Amino acid sequence: MHDHPMPSSTPAPASLEPTSPTSAALRIAVLGTGRMGLPIARRLHAAGHRVHAWNRTRAKAEPLQDLGVQVHDSPADAVQGADIAVSMLENGPVVGEVLFARGAAAALRPGALFIDMASIQPREAREHAQRLAALGVAHLDAPVSGGTVGAENGTLAIMVGGAAQDFARAQPVWAPLGRATHVGAHGSGQLAKLANQMIVGIGIGAVAEALLFAAKGGADMAKVREAMTGGFADSRILQLHGQRMVERDFAPRARMAVQLKDLRNALDTAQDIGFDGPITALLETLYAQAVAHGLAELDHSGLFVELAKRNAMS
């Protein structure tokens, strides 16, 4: 759901040409077909799997019907008979609602695998895993980095928590979507994603402050960014978000409000595990002030605007 930096070892985009279904084709339910879920469903269908889809607003799933994907009116109907269910929903409470209030968990057959690709709290992922295990359903938390471009091109970085054997049997799901890494037990995928979001949020703040500092002193901000390319301070954040700052292009790819939510989730989890994260706390304060000043719908690189105003540079 975010356009965050991707590892350099990310695979090249895979073809979207459909392959003929084989004996290895799985019945896969995709719950949530928004900006990320729709291309994920497309790629799984193109890989030859029998894909069934559900979305709270049905119209967002209906474009998949032209491909031969069956669209359902309820999540419980979508997961009936599924080998694997993949969800890309808004947050932890919504995942819990779809699973346990709207009947998806009860409708999954014993032995099925539920893969939650949403970004939620680690403790929520562990709770969902426990409740599903009581029904005989396996669980993986598998949040992603790479944004809609990564979802469309099959170049997502996928951070997976759960049992190693479940990670292995999910290989037919990982292959069309990107590069998956098993990082530990249930909830560990969410910890890895929060760590990713901490680096992104902190990195954006560092790049914005440094470029503004250079400009305030009289340097050409675009040239300063160019001069750092290839040096020790170079990064995907300097390249991508730094260019947005130079161009004052803050059209939302990943919104400021979402970055703030991510940092708050990281701080909540830090409290749960007894970890002191002072740098994350500082950036949470800065993003919160930016949102309070009306910048919530800007791209998260728009923290630059908040820092510019502080220095009378807007």
**Percent of the chain whose predicted confidence (pLDDT) is above 70:** 93
Predicted local distance difference test score (pLDDT) of residue 24: 78
Mean pLDDT of 141-170: 96
| Identified catalytic residue from 193, 216, 223, 309 | 193
Predicted local distance difference test score (pLDDT) of residue 271: 96
Residue 184: in which H helix or E strand, if any?
strand 178-184
- Would you say residue 68 has pLDDT above 80? yes
- Would you say residue 13 has pLDDT above 70? no
| CA atoms of 270 and 272, how far apart (whole Å) | 5
Predicted local distance difference test score (pLDDT) of residue 279: 98
Predicted local distance difference test score (pLDDT) of residue 9: 39
Listed in sequence order, the residues at least 6 apart from 68 whose beta carbon sits closer than 8 Å to its beta carbon are: 45
Predicted local distance difference test score (pLDDT) of residue 11: 42
CATH node for 27-184: 3.40.50.720
**Percent of the chain whose predicted confidence (pLDDT) is above 90:** 89
Tokens of 228: 């750092």
193 is catalytic: yes
| CA atoms of 61 and 243, how far apart (whole Å) | 34
- Would you say residue 18 has pLDDT above 80? no
pLDDT tens readout for residues 199-235: 999 999 999 999 999 999 999 999 999 999 999 999 9
User: Same topology for domains 27-184 and 192-310, yes or no?
Assistant: no
Contact 273, 177 (CB under 8 A): no
Mean pLDDT of 27-49: 97
Instruction: Give domain limits for the chain.
Output: 27-184, 192-310
DSSP codes of every residue in 205-256: HHHHHHHHHHHHTT--HHHHHHHHTTSTT--HIIIIIHHHHHHT----SSBH
Would you put residue 154 in left (φ > 0), alpha (ψ -120 to 50) or beta?
Answer: left
Mean pLDDT of 66-70: 94
Mean pLDDT of 30-59: 97
Residue 43 banded pLDDT, cuts 50, 70, 90: very high
| CA atoms of 75 and 66, how far apart (whole Å) | 20
| CA atoms of 301 and 120, how far apart (whole Å) | 22
Q: Mean pLDDT for the chain?
A: 93
How is domain 192-310 classified at the CATH fold level? N-(1-d-carboxylethyl)-l-norvaline Dehydrogenase; domain 2 (1.10.1040)
